[in-house]
Homo-oligomer: A and B are copies of this chain.
Amino acid sequence: MPSAAIREQLAAFQGLKSDLFQKDFLLTWEHPEEQIRAILALAETFKQLHQDGYSYRAFDTGLAISIFRDNSTRTRFSFASAASALGLSLADLDEQKSQVAHGETVRETANMISFLTEVIGIRDDMFLGEGNSYMREVGDALTDGTAQGVLHRRPSIVNLQCDIDHPTQSLADLAWLKKHFGNLEQLKGKKLAMTWAYSPSYGKPLSVPQGIIGLMTRFGMNVSLAYPEGYGLIPDVIDVAKKNAAATGGSFEIVNSMEAAFADADIVYPKSWAPFEVMGRRTELLKKSDKDGLKALEKECLANNAKFTSWECDRPKMNLTKGGKALYMHCLPADITDVSCKAGEVRAEVFEQYRIPTYQEAAYKPFVISALMFLTRIKDPGAKLAAIVDRARSISL
């Protein structure tokens, strides 16, 4: 028998409007706030069902395809877990074993892999100005193939991280904040510090900080973005954050020190990224396969990074936060000083204190991806979820 908690979650979900059927999920800010709430409500219900030992399988057969154009462990397994939980078979498109590129072949390949496919998850975060465009190119090809009668139904695309957004991360982060603070209304007026942090590597995508400022500004939070000079984000996303904040009664500011952002913060998210301008130059060099140029750029960038080793989340900076007790967040893996590197984003003592909370944050990702798969594929998700709850089938049959 499903618990009362599950019945309540089901009711909460059914009270929210979702409009994702047969659509893609590429950027959180393309969807209304109620949609975001519906995704969280569904993800929480799935998580509760799993915790209670119930299967939320929704498909009898079908493929979920993943295309990873960059390494991944946690998102890869979150996607695989979500596919399995829903009853879909995972098929990974390994571009080295096939031949996928931009242009003509995207149009063709998108259709060729999709005849019996429900969802395509794509990570393409290496090329600034191209990752999200690639997803839309695939989507256009699927729309065309469906209109032309090639595909019986158009598969949905889920953005597993692009150059602009990392929605399954930011939604998992939001679900975790909702859980941590009790509900979304509690987030109003909370200060979140999204700050750059030093890392001995370069070329980290901008999608996490962009995803965070693009989403958290929608719930009345006071978002403070901090980075050293030259480490700015894509201007369009800054605009999104500003507009969101203005519309929801929160605020958005850019400051130039970790200390300023941390001051009185409820939540801190210190995380390294490459400068926008560097990512642009890197994209050009990658396209030309200019190895010498890439090496020179890396050297220059690391030298620049090295000026900012003080951008490290340590105890004194944590003491600047509200009561010295802000919630530390990270998308993982973090560069931990003296653990994973000599000098990194965060001190070991701080990370260790918040290690379990960061795992709990990550725990939402497979359920968020499950929710996106479900909502983009199921015509009447409220009725379907009710049927799943009524069925109450154990994970071990």
Docked CA distance A58–B55 (Å): 12
Interface pair A72/B98, CB less than 8 Å apart: yes
Q: A76-B98, A360-B150 in contact; A61/B89 too (CB < 8 A)?
A: no
Contact of A61 with B87 at beta-carbon distance under 8 Å, contacts A340-B105, A356-B150 already known = yes
Residues 71-87 of A at the B interface (beta carbon under 8 Å): 71-74, 76-78, 80-87
Report if A148 contacts B (CB, 8 A). yes
Indicate with 1 or 0, residue by residue over A45-82, a CB within 8 angstroms of chain B CB atoms: 00000110101111111110100100111101110111
Interface residues of A in 352-367 (CB under 8 A from B): 356, 359-360, 362-363, 365-366
Looking at the complex, which one of B77, B93, B112 makes contact with A113 (CB distance below 8 Å)? B77
Q: Known: A150-B359, A397-B57. Is A97-B84 also a contact (CB below 8 A)?
A: no
Q: Closest chain B residue to A352 by CB distance?
A: B104
Residues on the B chain within 8 Å of A53, using CB: 153
Contact of A362 among B88, B89, B112, B359 (CB under 8 A): B112
A115 in complex: contacting residue of B100, B108, B363, CB < 8 Å:
B363
Bits for A110-141, please: 1 = Cβ < 8 Å to B, else 0. 01110111100000000000000000000000
- The verdict on A3 contacting chain B, using a C-beta distance below 8 Å, is no
Q: Is the CB of A73 within 8 A of B113?
A: yes
Collect the chain B residues with CB atoms within 8 Å of residue A182's CB: none
Contact of A112 among B77, B93, B100 (CB under 8 A): B77
B residues near A340, Cβ cutoff 8 Å? 104-105
Most buried by B among A56, A63, A83, A366: A63
How many copies are assembled? 3
In the complex, how many residues of chain A place their beta carbon closer than 8 angstroms to a beta carbon of chain B?
77
Q: Is A384 an interface residue (CB 8 A)?
A: yes
13 contacts across the A-B interface (CB closer than 8 A): A57-B60, A61-B84, A61-B395, A73-B109, A73-B113, A82-B116, A104-B339, A104-B340, A115-B365, A148-B356, A150-B356, A150-B359, A150-B360
Q: Which residues of A contact B (CB under 8 A)?
A: 50-51, 53, 55-63, 65, 68, 71-74, 76-78, 80-91, 93, 97-100, 103-105, 108-109, 111-113, 115-118, 145, 148-153, 332-333, 336, 339-340, 356, 359-360, 362-363, 365-366, 377-378, 384, 393-397
